[in-house]
Amino acid sequence: MSTFSSYKKIFLLVFTIAILVAIPFSVYIAQKRQQTTTKAAASTVLSLEPSSTTLKQNETLTLNITLNPGSGTSANQVSFVRLAISFDASKFTTLPNSLTVNPDSSNKLTYIIDEPKYDNTAGKASISLSIGSDPTNAIKTKTKIAVLQLKAIATTTPNTSITFDSAPNTQVLSVASSDQTNENTLSTTIPATVIITAATGTTTPTNTPIPTTTSVITPITTIAPPITSTTSGQEQSPVCSSLDINGPTSGIAPYSLTFTVTGSDPDGTISKISYNFGDSIEDVTAGGGIGTSSVSGQLVHVYNAPGVYTAYATLTNNKNNLSIQQASCAKTITINSANLNGSPQPSISPLPPTGDGKIIFNLGTLGVIITIVGGALLLL
């Protein structure tokens, strides 16, 4: 056997070993690069605004839920949000529509994937929202996406917080080309701190000394009127008698309805009627008997988006007491989409992002090079 032939065999052996080592190493490097390139940048911030507020017992707390996807090259393009919010159940209670979608045109997260759920025992409220099937609707700038309303039922010492639950209960997905569809891009959550003070007209009871002789019976009799006054200071709440509409409870968007609210207050006057239509809230402070003990107010509302909404009314009297929610003052409204011939528009999950063409091209180039080298070895 010639020396040249031996060198050639040794060269081929070394080259073959090098190729066998280089192939898996190249694949490993390509995979790591793909993971780095496609790893979602967690840049989204969810916040409750205002971050601090003060209200009285029996009043309704209103907080805006704001989403900020970040800025620059690391910004997310949000297509889906799952909100899970915790509150102190001994201080707050939910309303029929405590979590509602922001209906403004600036918000594209209007498709409800999971209907609002409330648990007043555990102090929980949740909802899931999507942009639908059009990825161009992805949220790219700071946007108010929903509104949270809770009724204060007890005072705080000194305050209480309303917070977002941690992942995976609270989740944000992005359709940016550098983000994976199943990776949570939520970076930070900002809670709200709330102080609840005593309602107007309430008093703190004090202990009255027990008389030891009959000589103090007369002073007790003179104290009786203030005690009666304190009892009467526990005012009664106004009563919402009915909520009526001027047409069917279902229609095709845009669908206009006139809502009529009737109610009364047994020991005061009505100062405000709050209409919660399920997609927005409007307060009326004049007309319809407001300022007297009996009201009959009307308001027109237009539903522009398909969905199922619970509309209800709340009365506030001159002592800031709220009416108790009851079935007679609530209506369920179903809004259908015209392009589906009257059937509700289905909720559509967000589309996954497109693949990274640069990585695919690089892997293909590597395969071509390995094929050429293999062919050359075969000819040798």
Of the listed ranges 7-16, 102-111, 174-183, the least confidently predicted one is: 174-183
The contacts of residue 122 (CB under 8 Å, 6+ apart) are: 89
DSSP state of 255: E
What's the confidence (pLDDT) of residue 217?
42
pLDDT band at 174 (very low <50, low <70, confident <90, very high): confident
- Per the structure, the complete domain to which residue 264 belongs is given by 239-340
For residues 193 and 251, state if they share a domain. no
pLDDT exceeds cutoff 70 at 296: yes
Domain containing 316 — which CATH number?
Answer: 2.60.40.10
pLDDT band at 359 (very low <50, low <70, confident <90, very high): low
For residues 175 and 297, state if they share a domain. no
For residues 185 and 258, state if they share a domain. no
Give me the amino acid identity at 213: T
For residues 190 and 71, state if they share a domain. yes
Sheet of 294-303, strand order: 239-245, 255-264, 294-303
Please give the average per-residue pLDDT across 4-21, as a whole number: 75
pLDDT exceeds cutoff 70 at 302: yes
Phi-psi region of 311 (alpha: psi -120 to 50; beta: other; left: phi over 0): beta
For residues 54 and 167, state if they share a domain. yes
Please give the average per-residue pLDDT across 216-233, as a whole number: 41
Q: What value does the mean pLDDT of the chain take?
A: 80
Question: Which one has a higher pLDDT value, 84 or 14?
Answer: 84
Question: Which one has a higher pLDDT value, 293 or 226?
Answer: 293
The contacts of residue 262 (CB under 8 Å, 6+ apart) are: 240, 241, 242, 244, 294, 295, 296
Which alpha helices (H) appear in the chain, and where do they start and end? 3-38, 217-232, 357-379
DSSP state of 50: S
Q: Is 163 domain-assigned? A: yes
Question: Which one has a higher pLDDT value, 352 or 10?
Answer: 10
What's the confidence (pLDDT) of residue 16?
77
Q: Name the residue with tokens 């009851």.
A: 326
pLDDT exceeds cutoff 90 at 119: yes
For residues 191 and 243, state if they share a domain. no
For residues 187 and 285, state if they share a domain. no
Q: Is 110 domain-assigned? A: yes
Maximum average pLDDT range among 37-46, 282-291, 344-353: 282-291
pLDDT band at 271 (very low <50, low <70, confident <90, very high): very high
Please give the average per-residue pLDDT across 77-88, as a whole number: 94
For residues 155 and 293, state if they share a domain. no
Q: Is 157 domain-assigned? A: yes
Q: Is 55 domain-assigned? A: yes
Please give the average per-residue pLDDT across 358-369, as a whole number: 59
pLDDT exceeds cutoff 70 at 282: yes
Please give the average per-residue pLDDT across 185-192, as a whole number: 92
DSSP state of 84: E
Q: Is 98 domain-assigned? A: yes
What's the confidence (pLDDT) of residue 125?
96
For residues 171 and 286, state if they share a domain. no
End position of a domain, from candidates 142, 174, 197: 197
What's the confidence (pLDDT) of residue 342?
42
Structure tokens at 103: 């209906």
pLDDT band at 218 (very low <50, low <70, confident <90, very high): very low
pLDDT band at 347 (very low <50, low <70, confident <90, very high): very low
What's the confidence (pLDDT) of residue 134?
83
Q: Is 273 domain-assigned? A: yes
pLDDT band at 215 (very low <50, low <70, confident <90, very high): very low
pLDDT exceeds cutoff 70 at 216: no
This prediction has a pTM of 0.47
What's the confidence (pLDDT) of residue 168?
83
Please give the average per-residue pLDDT across 267-286, as a whole number: 90
pLDDT band at 339 (very low <50, low <70, confident <90, very high): low
pLDDT band at 368 (very low <50, low <70, confident <90, very high): low
Of the listed ranges 33-37, 171-175, 291-295, 315-319, the least confidently predicted one is: 33-37
End position of a domain, from candidates 142, 176, 197: 197
When divided into structural domains, the chain yields a total of 2
Structure tokens at 55: 């209200």
For residues 128 and 186, state if they share a domain. yes
pLDDT band at 322 (very low <50, low <70, confident <90, very high): confident
For residues 188 and 71, state if they share a domain. yes
Domain containing 87 — which CATH number?
Answer: 2.60.40.680
Structure tokens at 222: 């003179």
Residue 80 forms beta bridges with which residues? 130, 173
Q: Is 368 domain-assigned? A: no
Q: Is 362 domain-assigned? A: no
End position of a domain, from candidates 197, 227, 257: 197
For residues 48 and 169, state if they share a domain. yes
